[in-house]
Structure 1
Amino acid sequence: MARILVTSLPFAGHVGPTAAVAAELVRRGHDVTGHTGAKYRGRFESVGARWLPWSQARDYDDARLADTFPRVGGGKGIKANFANFTDILLGTAPGQAADIVAARAFDLIVSDQLAFGGVLAGEALGVPWASVAVIPLTLPSRDLPPPGLPVRPATGRLARWRDAALWPPVRLATRLTIEPKLTRVRAAAGLGPAAVPGPDGLYSPHLVLAQGVPGLDYPRSDLPPHVHYVGRLASPPTTPGELPAWWPEIETARAEGRPVVHVTQGTLDVDPDDLIRPALAALADSPALVVCTTGGPPAGVTLPANARAAAFLPHDQLLPLVDVVVSNAGWGGTLAAIAAGVPMVVAGATLDKPEVARRVAWSGAGIDLRTGTPGPAKVRTAVTRVLADPGMRRRAADLSARLAAAGGVPRAADLLEDLAGRAGT
């Protein structure tokens, strides 16, 4: 039995995969502690793990980020993205590390890739740590352009020259803007400069559990051997709970040959003006049944006659009944849709979402609207195109099979146990 810490930023999309891994490790008999904010304490305790609170790390509610981090504001735009990185990811990291170091008694740290405190604590304690990638991999590759830029992988000589020209200024900008901040954060945790400079040094050199599979993520001929694609990290389907009274209408629509379109903005970017209202307007006169989840109370959203809404719905029950998902390109929701074999229309604009949207389009399993605030006409055209193209559904089904074959949570636990065993020898 190993003493394992699983640490996660208190965001729903981060806690989901890490808590699923924690549950499997508990089931296998390990002594597991979850380290996250108070809001998600129950997600770890409910699976049999102990909870290590964010005491020295500044805790927050992911639904009210601006209350704790005013510079994040509404979460949109370059300034908000930069504040998210500096104030939340970097700003809370020394406190996270201090919490973990004070607890001390761990054989292995399993860290949400963006919970940088797990990296710092692993180094400070001399304990091996593994990274759980909760967003698409951003590791550099000779086969890819720099992450974060609005370009897809090269397919010809000109594009390869483009990528070669893009890397030097990106590396220079990283060296001038990001590395000094990382050095200060490391110093606050009592550590010297990183062996690997820049954000790449925040990935574990021991084990990286990458959600997704090649084909949905970009191909890399130089993928490090300690990086493993494990498919989707999610808890097993839960016992069906209470569903809304209108739920049987989904089966009725399917029996009548009407398409079912699911519209969601996930749990973080929940301003209905971004995607929900445009999508409802786009599909109001269509024969589709539109099933909308709002991520919270659907205040102020007027539903057309062919739409139904709820704050949340169980994806494991809903997605197998859906023909198209319209989303804001969160990685967790994208993996859920593709795992169900459902093609997508994605509108991503903040944080990692444009990277996710580009991957969906590149994979052939959906359409990238290339904006986070599309107009109704753009949504309507994309949904119509996906419904008329069986190739996208076949591609989503193929990727679904690949995700399942990658092993998911059991495969991740196998790799973690192997790392813990090697560390103990």
Structure 2
Amino acid sequence: MPSHMADVMIAVMPFAGHVAPLAAVAKAFLEDGHAVRVYTGSAYRDRFDATGADVVTWSRAPDFDEYDLPATFPTLRGRKGPMQALANVEHVFIRTAAAQGDDLLAAYQERPWDLIVADALSLGARFASEHTVTPWVTVSVVPLAIPTPELPPPGFAIRPAGGPLGHARDRLLHAILPIATRRLREAYDAQRAASRLGPSPQPFEHAFHSPELVCATGIPELEWPRSGWPVAVEFVGSLTPTGVVDAASPPWWDDVPADRPIVHVTQGTLNVHPDDLIRPAFTALGRQPVSIVAATGRAETPGLPFPSPPNAFVTGLIDYARLLPRTTAMITNGGWGGVLAALSHGVPLIVAGGDFDKPEIAARVAWAGAGIDLRTGTPKPRAILRAWRRLSSDPGYRERAEHLGRELRRHDGPREVVEHAMRLLDDRRSGSAR
């Protein structure tokens, strides 16, 4: 057991796309000899129990079903697009923060931790860290959204621009951002008050990341160029480079022709309506000389409500360790974990980013030269077909994806999170500044 053994609390928002990477982090801390607890929703108790961590489930915080958010948050019912994204941030991530913090403080009183490592969207971890004055590390499982004046504000999916007009545009966007996010700011201030905390020591734009250390999934080549970061940022590559783990091979896996290229289509694990992307992809590629492997994103609902073309194979979830080495292209809604998994295997992408961080991810993939941004979450079959033909005929996309894959594979993400976090803790214990 290491001499620097620590008691670590890991806070994870209970969404599939957040759980997989943080489960890898929990396992890495345990393998390094640390005591680990995980705070998350009850739906994922078994997932973290399997790592050997002690699990603390949401109690005061509403223990919601990620696949039926309106059942717990009725104001989300019927919302789509940007309005849904803003409402989700307000009600799911911000307005649960004080209750999350209370759950975490109860766990701390039972057994104090030395360090809290949190999914960057777990605001309760920030509150608990402020109350306990313990080090807080954020692990960003989505692209970094740390604002700097030299770039457009995060979330607009706008490429950086040069010249006077471009800088004027960015200044205007930064000026209107406080107006656009007023409700979020008000909700955040109310949650701080409910958690018995004073005014925030940082502006609202910095609420979701630690001022001491951010471990960012991805690599600098997938970030907009900038002169520096206002906080300590360490890129750790992909935390789950093969995507879904321990998913059994579907019964048809051995029937996928070995002499045909595979195009993987995934709707992700949130907003998984198959009409958005899977149906138009089937229409676009159903007559092309490829095998389409489609994942619905739900293990319990592996089928589709419409017919599949003869060259399509459908499952709920699939192990990327088996699939991606045989895949020539991925058509995706832009989930960050899936994008990083594809790039880790050198697979170029066609991205249909509709809401949340997905348009931003699509823009970054296109800017990096590793894929095509369809600029919508509900593309027409013709747009998908054109993008696939372009991707297939231009080797530059695969070459760029393979380059990014080599950079991602240089990292051992979970191990690096442990190393960076323990360095911060050691600095705190010794009284030195990072």
Q: Could you state the TM-score of these two structures normalised by the residue count of structure 2? A: 0.93
Q: 1:7 corresponds to which letter in structure 2?
A: A
In structure 2, distance between residues paired with 1:377 and 1:172? 38
- Residue 133 of structure 1: which of 133, 136, 140 is its match? 140
Instruction: Report if aligned partners of 2:192, 2:198 keep a CA contact under 8 Å in 1.
Output: yes
In structure 2, distance between residues paired with 1:65 and 1:4? 29
Match in the other structure for 2:35: 31
Match in the other structure for 1:85: 89
- Residue 277 of structure 1: which of 267, 276, 279 is its match? 279
Deviations 1:79-136, CA, capped at 9 Å, x for gaps: 3222211111012111110011111111100011001100110001111101111111
How far the C-alpha of 1:223 sits from its partner, in A, is: 1.6
In structure 1, distance between residues paired with 2:312 and 2:123? 41
In structure 1, distance between residues paired with 2:392 and 2:72? 42
* Pair 118,349 (structure 1): closer, same or farther in 2 beyond 3 Å: same
Match in the other structure for 1:21: 25
Runs of 4+ aligned residues of structure 1 deviating over 4 Å after TM superposition are 235-241
* Pair 121,235 (structure 1): closer, same or farther in 2 beyond 3 Å: farther
* Pair 165,282 (structure 1): closer, same or farther in 2 beyond 3 Å: same
In structure 2, distance between residues paired with 1:405 and 1:200? 29
Instruction: Report if aligned partners of 1:72, 1:81 keep a CA contact under 8 Å in 2.
Output: no
- Residue 215 of structure 2: which of 209, 229, 236 is its match? 209
- Residue 114 of structure 2: which of 100, 103, 107 is its match? 107
Instruction: Report if aligned partners of 1:138, 1:147 keep a CA contact under 8 Å in 2.
Output: yes
Q: 1:166 corresponds to which letter in structure 2?
A: L
Instruction: Report if aligned partners of 2:243, 2:338 keep a CA contact under 8 Å in 1.
Output: no
In structure 2, distance between residues paired with 1:243 and 1:401? 27
Cα RMSD between the aligned structures?
Answer: 1.7
Match in the other structure for 2:226: 220
In structure 2, distance between residues paired with 1:141 and 1:375? 35
* Unaligned stretches of 5+ residues in structure 2: none
Are residue 407 (structure 1) and residue 412 (structure 2) matched? yes
How far the C-alpha of 1:156 sits from its partner, in A, is: 4.1
Instruction: Report if aligned partners of 2:147, 2:205 keep a CA contact under 8 Å in 1.
Output: no
In structure 1, distance between residues paired with 2:273 and 2:79? 10
Q: 2:361 corresponds to which letter in structure 1?
A: V
- Residue 96 of structure 1: which of 100, 103, 109 is its match? 100
Map 1:6-85 → 2, pairs under 5 A:
6-73=10-77, 76-85=80-89
Between stretches 49-58 and 156-165, larger displacement belongs to 156-165
* Pair 239,73 (structure 1): closer, same or farther in 2 beyond 3 Å: closer
Instruction: Report if aligned partners of 1:71, 1:80 keep a CA contact under 8 Å in 2.
Output: no
Map 1:145-224 → 2, pairs under 5 A:
145-174=152-181, 176-224=182-230
Instruction: Report if aligned partners of 2:243, 2:341 keep a CA contact under 8 Å in 1.
Output: no
In structure 2, distance between residues paired with 1:391 and 1:238? 28
- Residue 295 of structure 1: which of 294, 297, 304 is its match? 297
Match in the other structure for 1:244: 250
Instruction: Report if aligned partners of 2:243, 2:337 keep a CA contact under 8 Å in 1.
Output: no
How far the C-alpha of 1:151 sits from its partner, in A, is: 1.6
3-state SS of the aligned residue for 1:6?
strand
In structure 2, distance between residues paired with 1:206 and 1:150? 27
Deviations 1:253-302, CA, capped at 9 Å, x for gaps: 4xx3x321000001111101100000011101101110000112123131
Instruction: Report if aligned partners of 1:97, 1:121 keep a CA contact under 8 Å in 2.
Output: yes
* Unaligned stretches of 5+ residues in structure 1: none
Between stretches 258-267 and 399-408, larger displacement belongs to 399-408
Q: 1:138 corresponds to which letter in structure 2?
A: A
3-state SS of the aligned residue for 2:10?
strand
How far the C-alpha of 1:204 sits from its partner, in A, is: 0.3
In structure 1, distance between residues paired with 2:400 and 2:87? 37
How far the C-alpha of 1:77 sits from its partner, in A, is: 2.2
Deviations 1:361-391, CA, capped at 9 Å, x for gaps: 1110000100000011011110111111110
How far the C-alpha of 1:66 sits from its partner, in A, is: 1.8
* Pair 74,418 (structure 1): closer, same or farther in 2 beyond 3 Å: farther
Instruction: Report if aligned partners of 1:8, 1:112 keep a CA contact under 8 Å in 2.
Output: yes
Between stretches 145-154 and 258-267, larger displacement belongs to 145-154
In structure 2, distance between residues paired with 1:128 and 1:15? 22
* Pair 135,242 (structure 1): closer, same or farther in 2 beyond 3 Å: closer
3-state SS of the aligned residue for 1:202?
coil
3-state SS of the aligned residue for 1:323?
strand
In structure 1, distance between residues paired with 2:279 and 2:242? 32
Match in the other structure for 1:263: 265
* Pair 44,292 (structure 1): closer, same or farther in 2 beyond 3 Å: same
Are residue 384 (structure 1) and residue 389 (structure 2) matched? yes
3-state SS of the aligned residue for 2:118?
strand
How far the C-alpha of 1:238 sits from its partner, in A, is: 8.8
Match in the other structure for 1:310: 315
Deviations 1:201-236, CA, capped at 9 Å, x for gaps: 331011101111111122221224511111111277
Match in the other structure for 2:402: 397
Instruction: Report if aligned partners of 1:365, 1:393 keep a CA contact under 8 Å in 2.
Output: yes
Q: 1:259 corresponds to which letter in structure 2?
A: P
In structure 2, distance between residues paired with 1:95 and 1:82? 20
In structure 2, distance between residues paired with 1:225 and 1:3? 25
3-state SS of the aligned residue for 1:345?
strand
Q: 1:375 corresponds to which letter in structure 2?
A: K
Identity of aligned residues (%): 43
Match in the other structure for 1:142: 149
